[in-house]
Structure 1
């Protein structure tokens, strides 16, 4: 099975997928509104892979639900990040928005487009921090000429 084509099953750790959306050298960060213990922290949008979904299908669905956009799921960003004492894993992918779609904060308190020098200006969720560390090279590659 190709990378990004993982299908969730009951015997494997729960898979959480997240999107790194880069436009004009900036990455989209979303501020959690719930649950209370993480409200106000920042994350990459995404959510749980449901049984029978591939990682890409789940991420496209989550982008539609959370941001109101149509997403093209691309390459992986960073390694799997273990969550919940090994009971779950975070997988992050580059995402391109289709046909000029503009994200809206449908399920988040706020959104910001962060440049490379602004990545540390928000309090990230601990699970997203290893991915943030991967972003400077990605953002430099996407910066407009």
Structure 2
């Protein structure tokens, strides 16, 4: 989604982690009662004041999954606009360094085969991240639009 540069809404930067292992991608399901309840997403969270995207992603993954990660390539952000703000979802290709995974913010998680990733009910912005990731892997021949807004 391209956001017009003249938008006056607050931009919330939300880095997320894409974990891929042996042809599977990690997905986490949001708990009931949360916004976007039961939707699947890539774990992560918003950048707090004074934090970098990298610091926020390390913190959020530790809070949500209780694992240490190695952060790799930053992919093209996805944008989701709601009535009050613009979410800038910034995907990073990551690797888990520790285990086990202990969920604190999600109902469940799955390692989903790349060719079956679209069978889950993903949050809207995460769908765009999936396409960006598949393009990065060379799996998809999608044309990516360029956004005028940078986060």
Provide the TM-score with structure 1 as the length reference: 0.78
List gaps (5 residues or longer) in structure 2. 1-8, 140-151
Report the counterpart of residue 93 of structure 1 in structure 2.
Answer: 92
Identify which of 78, 87, 90 aligns with 1:81: 78
Distance in 2 between residues matched to 1:41 and 1:29, nearest whole Å? 10
Instruction: Note the aligned Cα RMSD (angstroms).
Output: 2.3
Distance in 1 between residues matched to 2:109 and 2:134, nearest whole Å? 19
TM-aligned CA distance change 1:71 to 1:117, over 3 Å: same
- 8 Å Cα contact 1:13-1:89 kept in structure 2: yes
Q: Secondary structure at the match of 1:48?
A: coil
Distance in 2 between residues matched to 1:31 and 1:133, nearest whole Å? 19
Q: Secondary structure at the match of 1:109?
A: strand
Distance in 1 between residues matched to 2:134 and 2:78, nearest whole Å? 18
- Residues 20-67 of structure 1 show CA distances to partners (whole Å, capped at 9, x for unaligned) of 011222110000004445111100000110011110000010110000
Identify which of 11, 14, 17 aligns with 2:15: 17
TM-aligned CA distance change 1:104 to 1:23, over 3 Å: farther
- Residues 62-101 of structure 1 show CA distances to partners (whole Å, capped at 9, x for unaligned) of 1100001001111113x22222345331111011112x42
Give the number of aligned pairs. Answer: 129
Report the counterpart of residue 44 of structure 2 in structure 1.
Answer: 46
Q: Secondary structure at the match of 1:31?
A: strand
List gaps (5 residues or longer) in structure 1. 1-10
TM-aligned CA distance change 1:87 to 1:120, over 3 Å: closer
Q: Secondary structure at the match of 1:132?
A: helix
Residue 114 of structure 1: how far off its partner (Å): 0.8
Identify which of 108, 111, 133 aligns with 2:109: 111
TM-aligned CA distance change 1:34 to 1:50, over 3 Å: farther
TM-aligned CA distance change 1:37 to 1:60, over 3 Å: closer
